[in-house]
Amino acid sequence: MTLVRMQPRPSNAGSNRSQRSHRTVHDAMEAAGPQVCDDMTVEVALAVMAGARAGRLLVSDEHGLCTGLITQALLTAIRDSAAYTDRARLRDVLGERGPVTSPSTTMAEAERAMRHRRLDALPVVDEEGSAVGILAFAR
C-alpha cells in the first residue's frame, strides 16, 4: 500500500500558504461512497455503479482493507477489450494496492502527490487501512 506522507513545511512560509499547508485531507475529503469487494466481477461492478449513479468505486479485499479505487471509464474499457471475459474480477484488473492517503495528510502534500501520479481521486484510509473517504479534484 502506498501512503502519501507529509513532509514538514518551513515555518517561514507566507501566511496564506501556511493556512493551506495546515489544512488536512480530512477537511476536504468526500464521503467514501459505494464500496465493493475485489472478488466482484467487472460486469457486476458496472451494474453497482449504474445503480448508485457513481463514476467510481472504492475496492476492498476480503479483510476490509482498501485496495484502490476504480472508475467507470476504466471498467468500460476493460469490458470492451478483446481480452475481456465475464470472469474478470476487480482484483485482476486493479493490480497492486495503492496509492492511498491518510486523513491527517496536509492538502498541499496530497495535491502534489495526486498531480505527480496524475490522479483525479485518491482513497482516504484510516490507520487500519479501511476506506473512510475519497479526496477528489474539483471539476
Q: What is the pLDDT of residues 56-94, one digit of tens each?
A: 999 999 999 999 999 999 999 999 999 899 999 999 888
Mean pLDDT of the region 10-22: 50
| pLDDT at residue 39 greater than cutoff 90 | yes
Q: Where are the beta strands (DSSP E) in 38-112?
A: 56-60, 66-71, 100-101
Provide the residue ranges of all domains of the chain, joining segments of one domain with +: 23-136
* Residue 19, pLDDT score: 54
Amino acid code (one letter) for 95: G
Contact 22, 106 (CB under 8 A): yes
| pLDDT at residue 10 greater than cutoff 60 | no
Mean pLDDT of the region 18-45: 85
Domain 23-136: give its CATH architecture: Roll (3.10)
Q: Strand 121-125 to strand 66-71: parallel, antiparallel, or no bridges (unpaired)?
A: unpaired
CA distance 55 to 117: 19
* Residue 133, pLDDT score: 93
Mean pLDDT of the region 6-18: 44
